[in-house]
Structure formats: structure tokens, C-alpha cells
Structure 1
Amino acid sequence: MTAASFVRLLCLAAIWGGSFLFMRVAANTFGPAYLIEFRVGFAAIALLLIAFYLKKRLSFLRHAKHYLIIGLFNSAIPFLFFAYAAQTLNASTLSILNSTAPIWGALIGFIWYCSPLNSHAILGMILGILGVAVLVGWDAAKIGKESILPITASLMAACSYGIATNYTKNAPQIPAFNNAHGSMWAATIWVLPLLPLIPMRAEPSAFEWSTVVLLGVVCTGLAYLLYFKLVSEVGPTSALSVTFLVPVFGILWGNLVLDEPVGLNTILGTILVLAGTMLVTGFSPSRLLTKSVQKVP
């Protein structure tokens, strides 16, 4: 991994960590449905403009079923669940619960494809569950029973990412950019019927509108492009390391911008969840570092 790739990796983690901050700021005003409709809508428009510039044709109708499935499980469902949870939970907690997605992916793969789970993966799942228990126990004691549904929603959002990951293993071979672009339009279609059912809760301020625009254009549309650029440069395994950096930035932004406390439970929960995720995915920081040193020109 070159220095430029490493900087891109840090930027992507910082951007995705910031998405939980922006949702936390805007969720209580926009409500889950409008917040996510604007998020995926702005992302779709941004990617459309980029597609025009790069002269990339989407052919949405040709692969409509595929885009609708990806848009549902990789965007609409998880975004809505996290937006709902952001009305109650801290940005740091949201980012940590999000990092359980690879654990859900391995568990769903075991159930769906009968993919074997080795002892490391099983131990990783146990550590991940313990990490979530630490976070859940603290938030439940601090917030009360009101935290149960938001925490469950966050875990279901991560589970939805796991479903999307397993689906893509046998999905049509479509360019990564088209997957990102098409899934955003599909997610826009999925969320649209919810707008009359879940109205805005208040009139958004100019600052809240700016956070939603950033959430859509930067944290969703442009972040996808940055991620796929990393995959092409360093491969999917090395790009996966962004999963372990997102909670760090989620905690950092929450503390710096919203003055969210960073307690012992946050640190311990993060360590347990990330350690579990590393075991489940087989990710090794030392092996990545060795490869990175070898690739430096």
C-alpha cells in the first residue's frame, strides 16, 4: 500500500465515520424517511453527474432487479434503521454497531451457503457479541428502555449489510461504479413510498440542510468512488481495513463536535467488536503492514 493509498484509506474512514455524526445532527428534524430519501437522492444525483463526466452508461432497466435488491439491502434498509437509531443513540455507538457487519456476513453465509466457520470465526463472533453487550448494557442503563429499539435497529442495519454482501457473491458481474450508481436510484425508489407515512418532525435549519447534502454527496456518493478506487489499488482485503477505522473516527467526531463522552465502556466495546470482526474476516494488521512495506516503491 503506497502512501497515497493509505491517505485515501484514512480519508474514507473519516468520511464514513462522519456519516453517523451527520445523521445524529439531522435525524430528529428530518425523521428517518425524509433524511434517507434526501441522502440517497443527493448521492444518486452526484453519481449521475460523475457518470455523465466519465461517459459511463448505467442501463438501469436492464439490471433493474439486481439494482433493486442491492439498493434495498445495502442502502435503503440499513440507512433507514441507522437514521431511526440516530434519534436516540450517540454517533460513536452507531459507528461501533455498524462495524459488526462482517460478523453478520459470516453468520448469514454459514446459514445461507453452509460456509464453514473455523474456530477463529466462532471466537470472533463471541467477542463481537460481548462487545455489543457492553455497549447495550451501558446505553440501556444510561438511556433506559428507550435504547432497546434503536440498538436493535442498528444491529439489523448491520445484518442487512451482511445480507447484501452474501447476495453479491452470486450476483451479476456489473462494474462497481454502476453498482453504486444504480443502487442509489433503487434506494430512492424504495424509500419514496414512506414519505407520507413518516413525515418531517420539524422545519430544518440551513445547518441541518447542509449536513444532509454532505451526507448524500460526500459520505455516500463520493465515498463509494473512493472505496472502489482503493479496491482497484490495494485489493478488497486491504480495503476492508477501513471497517476497523470507521469507529475510531465515529468516536472522534462525536466527541469533538457533539461533545459525546468517551467512557471505558465505549473503549472496551470497540476493542471487543473490532477484535471479533478481525477474527471473523481473517484480517491481520501485521500481514497487511508486511504487504504494504513490500509494495512501497
Structure 2
Amino acid sequence: MSRLYGALVLLSLIWGLSFVFIKYLLEPAGVWGVVFLRCLTGVAVLIPLLLYRGWPPFRSVPWGSLVLVGVLNAGLPWGLIAWSETQIHSNTASILNATTPIWTSLIGVVAYSVMLTKRQWIGIVAGFVGIVILMDFQVADLFREHFVGIGTMLVATICYGFASHHTKRFLSDVDVLLTATVTLVTGVVVGLIGMAFTRGISLEALWNVRFAFALVGLGVFGSGIAYLLFFYMITAGGAQFAVNVTYLVPLTAIIWGAVLLHEPLSPRMMIGLFVIFAGIYLSTTNTKQKQTQVE
């Protein structure tokens, strides 16, 4: 357990800073350029490790599940997060990202035969109350012109929830390094497709020191190393344990955002964070799997 909790703390520090790096990269790279560069840099770290260790037999790899997890755990949500940060602060994005365990619990009920206790349902309701507080009670904005920002962040967290359950159900026996590598390769493809329909990357930005620093931080650490830690936690501790990293990420992201981006901290933001945390705590305990009967 000490290794699991060590990975949890380290990953929270890395991903907390990732929200700041996304802000740095958005202007020169665009939404899908951020996804492409983030995944490509991570792949550059992981593929040599995978080749050195030895590529598994091609036919023994569950490619369909790996690609699906790549889309839902990297390509699509990372694009949505970058898109969100064109409208909201990085600290707000990180707080909304903390709702991932709540969505994971709901998805478990709907798609993976998980039963929740009364306490967990109370936690889910509390989590949604926290989101409403963050939105300043303007829920209708999600269904109008202000969907980009809070709405796109919530869709990203739903993707994470599906990916976590699918990984635990179908990829528990797959090597962590292979899972992380295929996930990021899939993200590279998604990023390329996105850029084909939007905008490309400014070549002048490649020579900017801050751009290079953010790219290394987001790609090498926030993608390559981070996903090794994340998939290790899923396989060793379970999907629910892994997504609990979102408890800690907002705290580190708020600090990084205030120090590096001079983002404001409001009482409403802190109240919303507290309520969401309370909801996460209640909703991620005592999960029971439905018993199946053999006839």
C-alpha cells in the first residue's frame, strides 16, 4: 500500500501542474495541438522503454480495448480539457476534474453492475451541489452558449470514468507500459485528426523557452510518466482508488495557478471544492458488486 499511496501523491503533484502547462501551450498550439504534442512527447518516452523490454506478441494484445481506452482516457478528454481552459481558469478546471470519482460511481451503476449504498448516493448528490456552487447556480448556462468551459470539463470527467472501469474490467492483465503507450499513440492520432479540422501548431513557438518547458512538463511528466503511475494504480488498487488522485490534484493545481498564473481564489470556489470533496468521500466508499446467479 505504501507504493500505491506514493504513486497517488506523486501523480497529484504532476497532474496539478499539468493544468498550468495546458494554459501555456494553448495559444501557440491550439486545443488539438496540445493533445497531439502532449501525447507525442509522452510516446517518445515510453516507446523506447517498451522496445527495450520487448514488444508482446501482436495477436495476444486486446487492441480494441486499448484503443477505446486511449480515446476515452487521453485523446478526447484532453482535447475537452484544453478547450475548457480557453474559457475558465486552470484552478476551476482542476476542481471540476475532481468530480471524476463521482461520475465513475454512477457509470459503475449504469454500465458495470455496481451497487451503491445510501451514503454513496448522498455523496453523488453532494458532488453535483458542489458543481452548481462553482457555476454560481447558473445551471441553465450549460445548455446555452456557455457550455464550453464547465460543460466540456464535465464531459471529460465522464470519459475518464468510463475509461477507468473499462481498464479494470478488460485490461487488468495487460502490461501497464503497453497500456500507457497505446493510450498515448491513440491520443496522437486523435490530436492529428482534431488539428486537421481546426488549426495547426505555430512553428515559431517551438523556439520559445516557456513553450519547450511546458511541453516537456506536460508530455514527459504529465503524460508519459503520469500514465505509468495511473495504470499501475488501476491494476494494483482498482479503478476507484486510481481516480481518487482527483482529491489531491485541485489542491496542487490551485497553488500552481495562483503562483504561476496569478489566478484568483474566490470564496465560492473554495466552498464548491469542499462540497465536491465531501461528495467524493461519501460516494467512493463501500461499493458493492452485484452478485450474479448461476443457473
How does the TM-score come out when normalised to structure 2? 0.84
Aligned to 1:210: 213
Equivalent residue number for residue 274 of structure 1: 277
For structure 1, which segment, 192-201 or 38-47, has the greater mean C-alpha deviation from structure 2 after superposition?
192-201
1:1-297 equivalences in 2 (<5 Å)? 1-2=1-2, 8-53=7-52, 55-58=53-56, 62-137=61-136, 147-172=146-171, 173-200=173-200, 203-204=204-205, 205-228=208-231, 235-236=237-238, 241-282=244-285
Indicate if the aligned counterparts of 1:30 and 1:200 stay in contact, CA closer than 8 A.
Answer: yes
CA RMSD of the aligned region, Å? Answer: 2.6
Cα distance 1:102–1:240, how it changes in 2: closer, same or farther (>3 A)?
closer
TM-fit CA distance, 1:210: 2.4
Q: What is the distance in 2 between the residues matched to 1:281 and 1:201?
A: 40
Q: Distance in 1 between matches of 2:39 and 2:138?
A: 29
User: Residues of 1 paired with 2:242 and 2:112: CA distance?
Assistant: 24
* 1: CA distance, partners of 2:285 / 2:181: 30
Please give the secondary structure, in 2, of the residue aligned with 1:21: helix
Code of the aligned partner of 2:55: R
Are the equivalent residues in 1 in contact too, given 2:34–2:82 (CA < 8 A)?
Answer: yes
Note closer, same or farther for the CA distance 1:231–1:174 as it changes in structure 2 (3 Å cut).
closer
1:139–1:52 CA distance, 2 compared to 1 (3 A): farther
Cα distance, 1:244–1:207 mapped onto 2, change above 3 Å: same
**Equivalent-residue separation in structure 1 for 2:234 and 2:153 (angstroms):** 26
Q: Is residue 132–residue 138 contact of structure 2 (8 Å, CA) maintained in 1?
A: no
Cα 1:111–1:229 change in 2 (3 A) is closer
User: Cα deviations across residues 158-178 of structure 1 (Å, max 9, x unaligned)?
Assistant: 000011122224314312221
Q: Is the 8 A contact 1:139 1:147 kept in 2?
A: no
Partners in 2 of 1:274 and 1:69 — Cα distance? 29
Deviation at 1:114, TM superposition (A): 4.0
Distance in 1, matches of 2:262 and 2:201, equals 24
Instruction: Give the letter aligned to residue 36 of structure 1.
Output: V
Secondary structure at 1:195's aligned position in 2?
helix
SS in 1 for 2:78: helix
Structure 1 unmatched ranges of 5 or more: 284-297
In the alignment, is the contact (CA less than 8 A) between 1:108 and 1:163 conserved in 2?
A: yes
Q: Which amino acid aligns with 1:221?
A: G
Q: For residues 201 and 250 of structure 1, what CA distance do their matches in structure 2 show? A: 26
Aligned length: 276
Unaligned runs of 5+ in 2: 287-295
1:245–1:31 Cα change, 3 Å:
same
TM-score, with structure 1 as normaliser: 0.83
Identity of aligned residues (%): 28
- Is the Cα–Cα contact under 8 Å of residues 100 and 243 in structure 2 kept in the other structure? no
Q: Distance in 2 between matches of 1:97 and 1:259?
A: 19
SS at match of 1:137: coil
Q: Identify the residue that residue 288 of structure 1 maps to in structure 2.
A: none
Distance in 2 (alpha carbons) for counterparts of 1:231 and 1:111: 20
1:148 is paired with a residue of what secondary structure? Answer: coil
Change (3 A) 1:88 1:139: farther
1:22–1:212 contact (8 Å) kept in structure 2? yes
- Aligned residue type for 2:196: P
- Cα offsets for 1:208-260 (capped at 9, x unmatched): 2321222011111011223455678x844765543211110011100111111
- Pair 1:230–1:110, CA change in 2 (3 A): closer
